Amino acid sequence: MDKPTAGTAGLTRRLMKLAVPIILQNLINSSLMLIDTFMVGTLGETELAALTLANTWFFVISLFIFGVQSGMTVLVGQYWGRGDRDAINRLLGIGFVLGGSFSFLICGVIALFPLQTMSLTTSSPSIAAVAAEYAQIVAPSLVLNSFTMMILGAQRAMENPRMGMNVLVMSMSVSTILNYFLIFGIGPFPELGVRGAALATLLARILEIGVTFVFSARDTRFIMKPRLMLRPGRVLWKDYLRICLPVIGNEALWGLGFSLFPIILAYMPSNASGVAAYAIALNIERVAAALYFGVGHAIAVVVCKELGSGRKEGMYAMGKALLRRVLVAGSVAGGLLAVLTAFIIAPYMIPLFAESTETEQLARLMLLISCIAAPARAVNFTIIVGILRGGGDTKAAMIIDIISMYALAVPLAALAGLVFQWGALAVFCVMVFEEVWKFAVAWWRFKQKKWIRDVTRPALEEGEDV
């Protein structure tokens, strides 16, 4: 029988200690993003649709960065369990190279050819023009953010999620304040509209990276060593690519697939209302999702440390115990969202965002569908991002995500929206249906127990040439 490990004792308390800062970070950031969306939405549905489509490009870039970060933190978490801080420094160097170079390349193309790139995502010249104006200013901020995310991801894997919470809450708060002043021209600030929203984002990212390096320099638990970051060594490069390339491919391909949904909506009749309703529902749903996202990321930290410490026995029992907790978190998130939608969001908030009755009704129905899907989404996220990746089973995680997206969600959404023209709600329902199939496959892989593996190298700790 698979008995719980020693790490299972006090599991809920240990999990919440890690999860609460991540939940608060995601909750505050999602809430502030919602406020930012509201401010841009007051400018008009064209502006809101343009912002959503421009951020579709940045969403794909962010997911690639998240893939680099997630792959890195699998190894960082396990080496943290082993106590090898030099290996963690080397892994940070690899993360800086991959994340920084990719974001610089893609954001450079967007900054040089904004109208051409934005025109690929919509058939509306007016939406493309506004999106290009926004994207050209925001693009450099993604390069800065890639370095910030590597450091904060490593800190979270080393059981220090508070640094990420403090840095990102500060950054998002500044962004929201600057949005208010620069979009509407408050006090001595000029009224810049969508360009003001872009400039606010860029300035906040500059502050963010500065604060991150200041916090890192004051951290006594982990000393950053540029000498090791600049020479990560062939052994860790080989391990990183073996473990992390599936994660990077997973995030990049999943993000590309997910970004096709607003593009499909943008090519449908009544494209402005469909994209606007999607943007409203997505931003509100992210606030509720902060609960199970936080728990899922905390579970990844627990799994990585346990395996890196050599405690494989009983990991399956711990995994089931962790999933029970995240199922509760997902159910609570869905229930809270349903109650808030019925009594607060639908009657009071959505009308502030939506310019038309059609947009209002679509956003309300999309949110109710999200409530039903929340438990399945929570478990899927935790198995794929927290457990399979945490155990180094990154290829299986990638296969489950990519097949779900490209064999089911994207083709069915395209058929529903572009061929049969069933409407924006049908496209959204297809997105949710993907979670049902993914749940069955992810649970099957979890029960196989092939994710229980230690991917660290004792040789690194013994000082062999790397």
Q: Which residue has the tokens 């959204």?
A: 428
Sequence-distant (≥ 6) Cβ neighbours of residue 169 within 8 angstroms: 24, 25, 28, 29
Q: Is 248 helix (H, G, I), strand (E, B) or coil?
A: helix
DSSP code, position 382:
I
Sort residue 233 into left (φ over 0), alpha (ψ -120 to 50) or beta.
left
Instruction: Return the structure tokens found at 259.
Output: 């970004």
DSSP per residue, 411-456: HHHHIIIIIS---HHHHHHHHHHHHHHHHHHHHHHHHHTTT-----
pLDDT tens series, the chain, 466 aa: 444 444 454 777 888 888 888 888 777 776 766 677 778 878 887 888 888 888 878 877 887 888 888 888 889 998 998 889 999 999 999 999 999 999 999 999 999 999 999 988 777 888 899 999 999 999 999 899 999 999 999 999 999 999 998 998 898 889 989 999 999 999 889 999 999 999 999 999 999 999 999 999 898 899 999 999 998 888 889 888 888 889 888 888 888 888 888 888 888 876 667 788 888 888 788 877 887 788 888 888 888 888 888 778 788 888 898 888 888 888 988 898 899 888 888 888 788 766 778 888 888 899 999 899 889 999 999 999 889 988 888 899 999 999 999 999 899 999 988 888 888 888 888 888 888 889 899 999 999 988 888 787 765 544 444 5
Measured between alpha carbons, how far is 99 from 202 in angstroms, rounded to an integer? 18
Instruction: Return the structure tokens found at 133.
Output: 């104006």
DSSP per residue, 114-131: HHHHHGGG-S-HHHHHHH
Instruction: Return the structure tokens found at 343.
Output: 């009594």
Model confidence, pTM: 0.78
Q: Is 4 helix (H, G, I), strand (E, B) or coil?
A: coil
DSSP per residue, 39-52: HHHTT-HHHHHHHH
Measured between alpha carbons, how far is 336 from 200 in angstroms, rounded to an integer? 31
Q: Which residue has the tokens 């940070």?
A: 92
Q: Is 321 helix (H, G, I), strand (E, B) or coil?
A: helix
Compute and round to an integer the Cα radius of gyration of the chain.
22
Greatest alpha-carbon span in the chain: 69
